[in-house]
Chains A and B, each alone.
Chain A
């Protein structure tokens, strides 16, 4: 039953934002419900992100503003979900919008109210490290940008006195009559993305948190490191304001702790601690950083390289030990008491101790579960299934982000897109015919007309006008050539002023507009829309930033600020003279998808797309579908992977929209987003050509063919997948199998494969438990380097130890050895020898069977496919996504997506999530009849092009290509993003960037030229 295209997303962290954006792009009407005054969530609090040290806010901010601006997304700020009634496809959701006492449409976030407000409270966004006022902006880059009043502390609201803000506000935005409102929303599906809380370390009394001021949590430390945080990035110890000499990070605070009911791994702390250690060392020269850990869980893509860099390049010290307690020394330094691997006790002194606090379910999760009617798992996370990781127990309600268990940012983003695909099939979504939902009058032809520029200089209340002499700037603008009209306006962005601009365009026949006000980053879209409403092409607009980059930055130098404002206006006018109308090229979309690879990921993606109504071609090189997953025999929750797979394959063959080509290979791929042509070689030697709009790469990976540990030499050595087959075929039944030795990290995490294969620790433990289940008398040994049972898989690690599975760690330098006991006998048992660091000596086991957790290898064929698709691979030959944090299923090349093992090693639930996400990302393209390319893109003048190919080399989007016939470069307008790298690299000036042309920039520079005449 599909009745509506509305959907409710609860929580607006990165997962909620991604889900909302994808849904809106597919054509849904999104209601995004957020408890706090800003979207952005936990990620907005972070300084940097691992393993690339990307600035968190830099990459998040564009998504935040896109989310706030998207016509398909309605923000419900300061709101909470009260109930979900009805059933899947036909819900009625009640939410409560709390009063903020500020009219967000009127607030110009000038901040005058905040200055006047007498009430100070601790700032929760800054981890309570600084104070804010009772009227405040949630954080400096908050979206929406407006101020809110905190009714808990506001004197006017609590005591009926004060009201200074109301008197101060120049925009009359404050409204003390505001009340809480209840709203009912009819929708087809609900996505929960309410995120997590950080563990409160107070229960660990032995670590002295809140007792010793120099013990801080990792989240507090994150804010301390952040350039826009309370310390402006100048890290000092809170107890004595001294720069720390050395820092200790204590891992697993609130994780992997059965006593405190935290029998799971928080998955992110090892990596963020490494990141914070590296960043801290960048901030403070000569700082020593030490991480006390149990296992380093650097299991994600390129995490191990980061770990290695931290140790080797940045000199971060790693000590494998659980810290017993922390004591304070006179002067505020701290003494860390810990045990060495051999059991002996030791201490170390530090200036600052950071507790790497874990992830825990939100405090109000029980309430949310009640309100939404979903069930939680034993840890308090949302309950989901191993093979349906995005579905809750209530049909039509989906989860994404860490609410479903610990996740890092890219996994949250993948889950978010995945949840979108799950929700989309419950919504009534038609293919969108038009790009814009709004109607505009036809555009006036300005070609050949002399520039007639209108200049509007904004006071922004007193934000600009209080510093810059606005009337003189207007006067100056008026004196410049081609300026037909110049006027001052109080708030350029206010509705009445936008009307003024529109009227002036019409009445004065203006064909270029300059607004000197705040920043184009937030306001350009608004003014461009105003131009469109007045019948002008939106690119005939230019902004001069005389607030954020002038009046606010030079408050004590009004005269200099005025000169600067004049010159910024003059430069803007100079550029405006040369502005030309630009069109966004419409690109028609062929609503069919090609999925390459018919393993678990490919099957999932194909079915998700077909369920949403799209034609899918599924190409698999093997004679049958299933890939590696066809060899997986057991699941953690007792589920049957092969029954699941069989069901999926049946669904595929029953689905008319999916055409499967098995035993087929990709011969060539041409085209671009919306319009691909692919040649597929069929097993009968013939080939066919498929036309489609998107490509999903799900080509998988394979087990490493090791030459170590007697593999392939002795029949008693198998891989974990081979072992599963043996177990399923009754290997243990009725046989006196005494010893099974598992060796982990075979091939992984060493020279040549400097990455973790991620799923093998859990796989080994699962298979070890299976042995214990089938034949408890058999001894199972697991030789490992680190146990990386991240997330809720940690509990199986505990269970395995309880059931008597023996774990022994080895180092790369002291790898175990495997030798036949009787070399003469090919069926001889094997002697496994290993050095145990806790025992401090070697030990030997005579094994009936040795099981190797071999690494997951990217196939060599990836290189060929990558070339055909013009997408990159990483150093390990896995496909490299567009952005490791925020675009984990996209390629930089539009219309091409990746999922499953082709991207990096991952378990089946993660493959399913990513494949579902890839389907959703594909739907954002396929559910449009036409998309718009960027307007400000590059163009080639073929007359000037010498065909050197430099542009092809520098273009990150494969938009610049060679026309081999003509020997000149061409720009694929559908792919160009307008960065201009090609234009800046072109020696002959054959390439230019529309909207930022050489000529425009030249004239902007030249407008302030001061030529000297030599006497």
Chain B
């Protein structure tokens, strides 16, 4: 499984985590190239359906990252999101989905280093899990 390169979808809020990702780049901090990015205005924009859709489409991992509590550009979007994500994560874990496939983080605009660490960690853990099987849509089944 060592040559397995996971494909990971990330949803980054425009004001903090996307900016943190930019800062990682500006600081030339290196991290694994396995993530793809969807920029959203706020982590509160992320409907659990987006995450499930990613899993169905065969992404090996999904990360949603927003502003730290209290930093939300839209005052409280991340707080509402936090509740939704807590429930979704627990539900998937309960069903037997590998908990590390769906991750959430807070990364601020100043945390380029943290962003790279988060991405590295998600990539490593997903790599260790191997290719996603659960929930992946297969034609003919």
- The answer to whether A and B come from one shared complex is yes
Q: Are A552 and B138 in contact (CB under 8 A)?
A: no
- Contact A1004 B30, CB 8 Å, known A882-B75, A983-B45, A1010-B58: no
- Contact A564 B139, CB 8 Å, known A61-B109, A521-B18: no
A1011 within 8 A of B: yes
Q: Are B45 and A979 in contact (CB under 8 A)?
A: yes
Chain B residues near A1011 (CB, 8 Å)?
A: 57-58, 137-139
CB proximity to A under 8 Å, residues B67-123? 67-68, 70-71, 73-77, 80-81, 84, 108-114, 116
Smallest beta-carbon distance B97→chain A, Å: 18
B26 within 8 A of A: yes
Measured CB to CB, the nearest residue on chain B to A884 is B70
What CA separation (Å) do A990 and B26 show in the bound complex?
Answer: 39
Q: Are A568 and B37 in contact (CB under 8 A)?
A: yes
Q: Are A936 and B57 in contact (CB under 8 A)?
A: no
A740 within 8 A of B: no
Chain B residues near A519 (CB, 8 Å)?
A: 18, 22, 25
Smallest beta-carbon distance A754→chain B, Å: 19
Q: Are B45 and A232 in contact (CB under 8 A)?
A: no
Q: Are A545 and B37 in contact (CB under 8 A)?
A: yes
- The residue among B68, B109, B114 with the most chain A CB atoms within 10 A of its own CB is B109
Chain A residues near B34 (CB, 8 Å)?
A: 560
Q: Are B57 and A1014 in contact (CB under 8 A)?
A: no
Q: Are B28 and A552 in contact (CB under 8 A)?
A: yes
Contact residue among B22, B37, B45 (Cβ-Cβ distance under 8 Å from A984) = B45
Smallest beta-carbon distance A8→chain B, Å: 30
Q: Are A977 and B74 in contact (CB under 8 A)?
A: yes
Q: Are B80 and A1014 in contact (CB under 8 A)?
A: no
What CA separation (Å) do A951 and B80 show in the bound complex?
Answer: 11
Chain A residues near B67 (CB, 8 Å)?
A: 58
For the A-B complex, the count of residue pairs with Cβ-Cβ distances under 8 Å equals 205
- Contact A554 B112, CB 8 Å, known A548-B22, A1011-B139: no
| Interface size class of chain A, counting residues whose CB lies under 8 Å from the partner chain | 35 or more
Chain B residues near A567 (CB, 8 Å)?
A: 36
Smallest beta-carbon distance B98→chain A, Å: 18
What CA separation (Å) do A1013 and B22 show in the bound complex?
Answer: 37
Q: Are A547 and B25 in contact (CB under 8 A)?
A: yes
CB proximity to B under 8 Å, residues A626-641? none
B126 within 8 A of A: no
| Interface size class of chain B, counting residues whose CB lies under 8 Å from the partner chain | 35 or more
What CA separation (Å) do A534 and B117 show in the bound complex?
Answer: 42
Chain B residues near A521 (CB, 8 Å)?
A: 14, 18-19, 22
A1006 within 8 A of B: yes
Q: 1/0 per residue A970-984: CB within 8 Å of B?
A: 000000011111011
Q: Are A545 and B22 in contact (CB under 8 A)?
A: yes
Q: Are B23 and A228 in contact (CB under 8 A)?
A: yes
Chain B residues near A983 (CB, 8 Å)?
A: 45, 47
Instruction: Say which one of A250-258, A315-323, A993-1001 lies at the interface with B.
Output: A993-1001
What CA separation (Å) do A553 and B23 show in the bound complex?
Answer: 10
Q: Are B38 and A1001 in contact (CB under 8 A)?
A: yes
Q: Are A52 and B44 in contact (CB under 8 A)?
A: no
Contact residue among B42, B71, B80, B114 (Cβ-Cβ distance under 8 Å from A58) = B71
A54 within 8 A of B: yes
- Contact A553 B25, CB 8 Å, known A58-B15, A1005-B50: yes
Chain B residues near A563 (CB, 8 Å)?
A: 33
- Contact A1005 B138, CB 8 Å, known A58-B16, A58-B108: no
B46 within 8 A of A: yes
Chain A residues near B22 (CB, 8 Å)?
A: 519, 521, 545, 548-549
Contact residue among B28, B53, B108 (Cβ-Cβ distance under 8 Å from A1006) = B53
What CA separation (Å) do A996 and B16 show in the bound complex?
Answer: 17
B136 within 8 A of A: yes
Q: 1/0 per residue A495-530: CB within 8 Å of B?
A: 000000000000000000000000111000000000
Q: 1/0 per residue B122-141: CB within 8 Å of A?
A: 00000000000000111111
> Interface of B with A (CB < 8 Å)?
5, 7, 9, 14-16, 18-19, 21-42, 44-47, 49-50, 53-54, 57-59, 67-68, 70-71, 73-77, 80-81, 84, 108-114, 116, 136-141
User: Could you give 8 example pairs across A and B, Cβ below 8 Å?
Assistant: A140-B27, A141-B26, A228-B23, A228-B27, A228-B110, A228-B111, A561-B33, A1013-B139
Beyond the given pairs A545-B39, A983-B45, 7 more chain A to chain B contacts, judged by CB atoms under 8 angstroms and listed by A's residue number, are A53-B70, A59-B71, A141-B26, A227-B111, A954-B80, A978-B41, A983-B47
> Interface of A with B (CB < 8 Å)?
47, 52-59, 61-62, 140-141, 226-228, 232-233, 519-521, 545, 547-550, 552-557, 560-561, 563-564, 567-568, 571, 882-883, 892, 936, 954, 956-957, 977-981, 983-985, 993, 996, 998, 1001-1002, 1004-1006, 1008-1014
